[in-house]
Structure 1
Amino acid sequence: MLQLHFLGCVRIRSMTSTAILERPSKAAGSADPAHPDRRGPLRPAQLAPTRARLPGRVVAWLAQLSDMGGLLAAALLLNRAAGVSAAFAAAAALATLLALSLMNAYGFGRREGPKLHLARAGIALALGTGGAFLALAPVTPLAALTAGLQAWIPVAGTVLLTTHLGWWCGVQTWRRNGRLTPNIVVVGATGAAERLIAAALKSREVNILGVFDDRAARRPKDLRGVPVLGGSEALLGHRVLPYVDRIVITVPAKAGDRIRQLVERLRVLPNEIVLLLDGADPAAEAEAIDRIADVPLARISGPPSDHGKALAKRAQDLAVGALALLLAAPVMAAIAVAIRLDSPGPALFRQRRHGFNNEEIVVWKFRSMRVEAADATASRQITADDDRVTRVGRFIRRTSLDELPQILNVLKGEMSLVGPRPHAVGMKTGDVESARLVAEYAHRHRMKPGMTGWAAINGSRGPVDTPELVRRRVALDVEYIERQSFWFDLYIMAMTIPCLLGDSEAVR
């Protein structure tokens, strides 16, 4: 499933994923002692998975909201406590907010130090306050305006100094730990790729982690210091993929067959793909590079509707998840005690599963099998009357109570309350890895995995031990991703318990 947008460059949002990924290293951001030059000049000190990325547009929105709340609170306080005219206080607050936006005080440019940023905010405060003063001068006594001005400037100035210094420090921290600046890899060691790297080195608004090129005999060791890490086949299984926001294909504009082959080969990845055609119109190439490598903070990472939906889903996860944990805590404690009394071993079982964008996460469950028979890789899926399952395990699996510890995964941001169920890394259907049975299997990794989902309430629960069951689950997961919304998630949550209670035949 590809979505093409002709906006100076071609964006290809692929919804599929590679079947097998190398296990991501916890030290993925650290230098390789054997190859200290393989990091390159555009790789951050730390690599954060894409699910932990903070979209710049959202950061800018939140900074604006904090200013709005702070300035309106200051206006209300001055009106109540100091007798400042309500009209002047409100006008000064709103005019200052407008001036802050016009002064680009929410850009947080990489080269902008704290003094310059605070100076920008101070100028916006002066312009907004002055504009409010002049606008109200014809209809308000001068003494009242002067008193309001003298009270407003120090209070509003303190609010802006505090909020903007805090946001500036936060942005620097997020940039250092890899959570704010998007990561890309380039396919094709071409002139366009070199120009893109040069623009990124100049702007520092994007991290280029490496270059991949299929021309083994002619590919260089690096491009402007960015290492060439192999061909496109090496990219398919590279451990850096869970940290990559987008893949940029830079190939000659006339190489139509090569472009089609690369797109077809890479479309199995869950990452976004962008075409930057080498040798195309210079103006179009410059515009495309500007879009990729010099994105101001307020415009990072896609359309605002996607950010709003993601923010609403995360807020839903935190609010409902925290409430669910509070209500479920006594039940979880009782289950843990019952498991310990029923069979030797720990109450909890952990398993590595694929999360968003193929990131490997550790998912927690209550242990339902005997310790010596536990299957962390799901090489043998559960069956009816499975002899590995304990007495307590049969009950908690039948009622899905074994999944309750995953609330902790939700609160950590690794999972969502609603989404495709996470499958174990290397899970097999018969003797074949499940991911190899369906071309669209990795559509599921374009969204965080969930505790429940559209597939679960439509009967696709438990093992997927035939190719037909794998295909049905993938189809339902893809349908959910295409329909996902705040209200659809609430509907699925509401339907989960009655579906589980009414389905005693499913093997779980």
Structure 2
Amino acid sequence: MDASGLQALATGAMSRPTDTAARRGPFRPDVWLNSRERHASRLAVHYFRAFDVLAVTAITLLSAWAVAPGALARAELSLVLPFVAGATVVLALMRSLGLYRFVRTRSVPIHLAAVSGIVAAGAVTVIGLGALMRGGQGLWSAYLVWTGLVLISLHALHMGWSDLVGRWRASGSLTPNVVLVGATGHAEQLIREALKHRDLNVLGIFDDRMARSPRAIEGVPVLGRADDLLTHHMTPYVDRIVLAIDPRAEARVRDLTARLRTLPNEVTLLVEPNDDTEYAMVVQRLSRAPLAALDGPVDDDRRAFNKRIQDLAVGLVAAVLLAPVLAVIAVLIRLDSPGPALFRQRRHGFNQEEIVVWKFRSMRHDAADATASRQVTVDDERVTRIGRLLRATSLDELPQLLNVLKGEMSLVGPRPHAIGMKTGHIESARLVAEYAHRHRIKPGMTGWAAVNGSRGPLHSAQDVRRRVQLDVDYIERQSFWLDLWIMAVTIPVLLGDRRTVR
């Protein structure tokens, strides 16, 4: 969705007309990216480091082979170890000294100077260890060539990384988007401070006291009540919800927190700053969106990066190996009933983003149900002959490998539900308060709920509640090994289930 489209949606949520300035607001990013897309940009730091590791490793192996031709495994240790030690020092210092954070306050020349200093430390290690191990008979020219190649390679790579991050920041890809709850003086001061530096996008304000609230604060529109935020089309573009209300109003804080916790977005309470300096610190803290950290314990960013690498590696292999199967299924569908082989459906993705999910068509084309308003039943007349086989074996889900490779879905995660899907006559999302929590991670082709018996149609509020509980349980426990286990047991679990209607 482009900026004008999102602004139109924002306008539609307002409870009364406003002028153009208030309707559009002062924060208009050049590029409107949803949370998943901005998160993917932040994870780029892991790819940057991977390229650095590959470059330094290649130069090190090449240098070691040059001084010890033949099999490196049988080479004299004194010839190879200095290069390995130097490479280890360079890569370790690049990571530990924060050279992958690309913070706003560090200019490119200073960043490259830091890279040069780290390479110099690696060179000292190579030369010193080489002289020590070879009794002063070091391979000085080889050491200097290694140093020069590492320096040139890392300078070229980091100039590219810095330029890319700079362009992302200029377009708003790395600028956090927030909405404020509470049309208060705190909100006004926070917006003024954000406007000074443009490090934070305040997309809108929501306030329960619409009768008393202004139409806009410092040009940022008041878009509705707090409850309107629960279903607002702006939500997938929001990184954080800030409660800009008096923290001493404990009852109101508890009430708003309880109502907003059903959203997948992080909620932050703005503790009352005392002066402009403290407001500036608040904005700096909210806008601090460095690229994903590489050090410290495993965090959400690193876990997301590992999961993405897993999706790409396994997904690409699966797509190649299953290509003949996909082609045969597509032909059988076309022969079985008129209509296209593939079926598209709008579903909820990460952070309630709307995505288009691909499936093999298993119903008659004229009976397609894009909103899942009527869930599948036993002997459903809409399902075709080949469709019954595809649904029984879940082969109809295989085209979602395209969604996985695009980054909209994961191999493992909560199953994406159709937007507006109903359980009985009630929209499923309205049956369980924590329903949106299942959107805190990318939806998956299979998942913890699927291998624990919760799959297929949801016929009651109890079914929805159990599915959501299993999905939230997976999100809290997610790990590389759990994902591998779920993938390994998916096929035998699904094929061994003869009771669930799919």
The equivalent position to 2:159 in structure 1, one of 162, 165, 169, is 165
Does the 8 Å CA contact 1:249/1:275 hold for their aligned counterparts? yes
Deviates more, 1:453-462 or 1:139-148: 139-148
After superposition, the Cα gap between the structure-2 partners of 1:333 and 1:228, relative to the gap in structure 1 and judged at 3 Å, is same
After superposition, the Cα gap between the structure-2 partners of 1:56 and 1:191, relative to the gap in structure 1 and judged at 3 Å, is farther
Deviates more, 1:391-400 or 1:475-484: 475-484
Segments of 5+ residues of structure 2 without an aligned counterpart are 12-18, 69-77
Distance apart, 1:139 and its partner CA: 7.8
Superposed CA RMSD = 3.4
Matched, 1:236 2:230: yes
The equivalent position to 1:450 in structure 2, one of 441, 444, 447, is 444
- Name the counterpart of 1:486: 480
- Name the counterpart of 1:333: 327
Distance apart, 1:347 and its partner CA: 0.9
- Name the counterpart of 1:393: 387
Deviates more, 1:36-45 or 1:152-161: 36-45
After superposition, the Cα gap between the structure-2 partners of 1:375 and 1:480, relative to the gap in structure 1 and judged at 3 Å, is same
Aligned length: 483
The equivalent position to 2:454 in structure 1, one of 452, 460, 478, is 460
Distance 2:193 2:95 in 1: 26
The equivalent position to 2:470 in structure 1, one of 468, 476, 486, is 476
Deviates more, 1:338-347 or 1:170-179: 170-179
- Name the counterpart of 2:30: 45
Q: For 1:265-344, what aligned pairs fall within 5 Å after superposition? A: 265-278=259-272, 288-297=282-291, 304-344=298-338
- Name the counterpart of 2:376: 382
Does the 8 Å CA contact 1:418/1:451 hold for their aligned counterparts? yes
Does the 8 Å CA contact 2:33/2:173 hold for their aligned counterparts? yes
Instruction: Give the SS at the match of 1:497.
Output: helix
Distance 1:286 1:480 in 2: 38
After superposition, the Cα gap between the structure-2 partners of 1:140 and 1:390, relative to the gap in structure 1 and judged at 3 Å, is closer
Deviations 1:342-375 (A, max 9, x none): 2111111111111111111111111111111111
Return the structure number with greater relative CO, CA threshold 8 A, min gap 6: 1
Alignment TM-score, normalising by the size of structure 2: 0.84
The residue type paired with residue 366 of structure 2 is E
Distance apart, 1:217 and its partner CA: 4.6
Deviations 1:47-85 (A, max 9, x none): 222222336874444434433432343334334336896
Distance apart, 1:192 and its partner CA: 3.6
Deviations 1:480-500 (A, max 9, x none): 223322222222222222222
After superposition, the Cα gap between the structure-2 partners of 1:330 and 1:255, relative to the gap in structure 1 and judged at 3 Å, is same
Deviates more, 1:214-223 or 1:371-380: 214-223
Matched, 1:118 2:103: no
Matched, 1:431 2:425: yes
After superposition, the Cα gap between the structure-2 partners of 1:303 and 1:81, relative to the gap in structure 1 and judged at 3 Å, is closer
After superposition, the Cα gap between the structure-2 partners of 1:100 and 1:323, relative to the gap in structure 1 and judged at 3 Å, is closer
Matched, 1:185 2:179: yes
The equivalent position to 1:260 in structure 2, one of 241, 254, 261, is 254
Percent of aligned pairs sharing the same letter? 54
Alignment TM-score, normalising by the size of structure 1: 0.83
The residue type paired with residue 459 of structure 1 is G
Distance apart, 1:312 and its partner CA: 2.1
Does the 8 Å CA contact 1:199/1:289 hold for their aligned counterparts? yes
Deviations 1:108-148 (A, max 9, x none): 23365544543443344446546766787788777847645
Q: Give the number of the structure whose residues are more often helix, by fraction.
A: 2
Segments of 5+ residues of structure 1 without an aligned counterpart are 1-24
Matched, 1:54 2:42: no
Deviations 1:354-413 (A, max 9, x none): 111111111111111111111111111111111112222222122222111111111111
Distance 1:30 1:471 in 2: 32
After superposition, the Cα gap between the structure-2 partners of 1:392 and 1:227, relative to the gap in structure 1 and judged at 3 Å, is same
Does the 8 Å CA contact 1:242/1:359 hold for their aligned counterparts? yes
Matched, 1:404 2:398: yes
The equivalent position to 1:77 in structure 2, one of 26, 51, 62, is 62
Does the 8 Å CA contact 2:56/2:87 hold for their aligned counterparts? yes
The residue type paired with residue 341 of structure 2 is A
- Name the counterpart of 1:106: 100
Deviates more, 1:412-421 or 1:61-70: 61-70
